[in-house]
Structure 1
Amino acid sequence: MSRRKTEEPTGLALYDQTARDAAAAVIAAYSTSFALACRMLGPRVRPHVRNIYALARVSDEIVDGPGAEAGLAPDAERRVLDDLETETLAAVERGFSANLVVHAFARTARECGIGEDLIRPFFASMRTDITTATHDAASHDAYIYGSAEVIGLMCLQTFVNAGAPAPVPADPDLVDGARRLGAAFQDVNFLRDLDHDAATLGRDYLGASSRDDVLARIDADLTAAAAVIPRLPPDCRRAVTAAHDLFADLARRLRRDPAPATRVRVPDPVKAALAARAWLGFSPRGARA
């Protein structure tokens, strides 16, 4: 009994583990598809990716309904978001936060080389949700970069650097692929949530862009990402392939049904088949396959 107790984490190690568990709980509660993809990641990178997405989800919830439901006016939402950004940057600098989700992210950021150049654009896009209702092409691209592309870049930093003695920059081709995959994911979600965003949140992320133009952009981004996914580390490749193929399938369903009665989703048996295909080591599917 005493030997087992000595092997259990204590002090900072226990706090780190508790923070990682908190991040994992956030992801499990909010996205079954993402939780499935995370389970396909190797243990070297899995907790880091959960840490990134947990902070992103908490930040998103401040401006996407729960904050307002709690009685926050837009100015109050902005202050809460600003405070979260300030705490995140400080935690990355010092290596500790009393906020468990922030602490988990900060430990990942320090190990994997995620800095202000990626953190600040993310929070800038979240603030845009408070101030901008309708996007044009320029504001759409800026929003996509901060809300989605930088998340892909953060994940890429973990793929390249988790467990390494010191973080190094990722290959430029992988950087481009990570950005384009993140952009495709976000544009797919914009199309899926078009009616909800307009009716519930009063937002139009796509502006004057036609549905066909958005789908063509998604296809191009997914194709470009697919070309470099095989160059990712082996313990990341299957999960990213599964996520890519899931969103490629969503894009095909959106193309087939221009006016769906409900939010377009991939049936669970198809999700399982895509995950199995990725697990067996197949390359990403073509965007329009």
Structure 2
Amino acid sequence: MMDLYNYSCFECSKLITKTYSTSFSLGIRTFHKDLRNPIYAIYGFVRYADEIVDTFHEYDKVEMIRQFGLDTYQAIERGVSINPVLQSFQLVVNQYQIDKQLIQAFLHSMEMDLQKVAYTDELFKEYIYGSAEVVGLMCLKVFCHGQEGLYATLLPSARRLGSAFQKINFLRDIQADYEERGRVYFPDVDFLRFSEADKKLIEEDIRIDFDEGLAGIRKLPRKSRAGVYVAYLYYLELFYKIKSKSAGTLAAERIRVSDKRKIWLLGQALFKEKIIGL
């Protein structure tokens, strides 16, 4: 009967992923079938932690994220949880030997979001690592499954790719983060005086991250390569759209990629991976 329970838990994580992210869901569909449930489980875990921080304004979010962390570690230690999101996540953590330090860093970044932090360069790097880079490393553990040498080789590129994705999210959401949550993640950037010079410096930083991230994608195992490349192309498209807009436009509206364009990018990724191996 545990098989049925575990199946239902992975289905919950899959539903969460499809509900919250059409782009991520498209990418997962291109993974080998053996990888899909583990990646759904990781996304479901990080999505719900982020939801506590960003949405539950009428509740004690500090206590809720603390309890979520305690429940997570308990699920991993026990090897079971009555919370379907944590059940599927702990199965993946234990099967793929995901380092608990990655989980701790992620939860720490979620806690940082509950504070009014003026981000210095050091704190910005700390937040990026915990909120995005470690999520990529959790996924990399699944992609490399037991190939620790390959994991170590690809670790720097995976971090840079996660960093690029997160910085693009920050640029896309700069208005909402400031107006709804009182946050400006980029060090020394004043939202009310967000300038073209600020924007260009951030974009150059992202471009470097993208270049190093792509080098790692090309070395991924075949089962995962196309799926990660889909995410890369989607964020690259979003990056180009952001670059084409003024700093003032970014501060006034949220830039997005249409679902139709996402499907076209999916086809491009599959074609390039199959015909020329990226």
Fold agreement, TM-score > 0.5: yes
Residue 276 (1) aligns with residue 256 (2): no
Of residues 98, 108, 111 in structure 2, which corresponds to 1:114? 98
Of residues 158, 168, 173 in structure 1, which corresponds to 2:153? 173
Shift, 1:262, TM fit:
2.7
Report the equivalent of 1:7. none
CA contact (8 A) 2:141 2:151 kept: no
Q: Deviations over 1:68-119 (max 9, x none)?
A: 1xx21xxx21111111111111211221011100110000001111121111
Aligned residues: 265
Shift, 1:171, TM fit:
3.2
How is 1:29-178 mapped onto 2 (pairs within 5 angstroms)?
A: 29-65=19-55, 67-68=56-57, 71-72=58-59, 76-161=60-145, 168=148, 170-178=150-158
Tell me which of the two structures has the higher relative contact order, counting C-alpha pairs closer than 8 angstroms and 6 or more residues apart. 2
Residue 238 (1) aligns with residue 226 (2): yes
Greater shift, 117-126 or 275-284, is seen at 275-284
CA RMSD of aligned residues (A): 1.6
Which secondary structure state, in structure 2, belongs to the residue aligned with residue 97 of structure 1? coil
- AA at the equivalent of 1:206: F
C-alpha separation in 1, matches of 2:178 and 2:122: 20
Report the equivalent of 1:252. 240
CA contact (8 A) 1:157 1:170 kept: no
- AA at the equivalent of 2:113: D
C-alpha separation in 2, matches of 1:98 and 1:39: 27
CA contact (8 A) 1:245 1:274 kept: yes
Shift, 1:148, TM fit:
0.2
Q: Which runs of 5+ in 2 are unaligned?
A: 190-197
CA contact (8 A) 1:22 1:100 kept: yes
Residue 219 (1) aligns with residue 207 (2): yes
> What is the identity percentage for the equivalent residue pairs of Structure 1 and Structure 2?
32
Which secondary structure state, in structure 1, belongs to the residue aligned with residue 113 of structure 2? helix
C-alpha separation in 2, matches of 1:175 and 1:157: 10
C-alpha separation in 1, matches of 2:149 and 2:61: 34
With the length of structure 1 as denominator, give the TM-score of the two structures.
Answer: 0.88
Q: Which runs of 5+ in 1 are unaligned?
A: 1-10
How is 1:189-200 mapped onto 2 (pairs within 5 angstroms)?
A: 189-200=169-180
Q: After the TM superposition, which parts of structure 1 deviate over 2 Å for at least 4 consecutive aligned residues?
A: 166-173, 267-270, 281-285
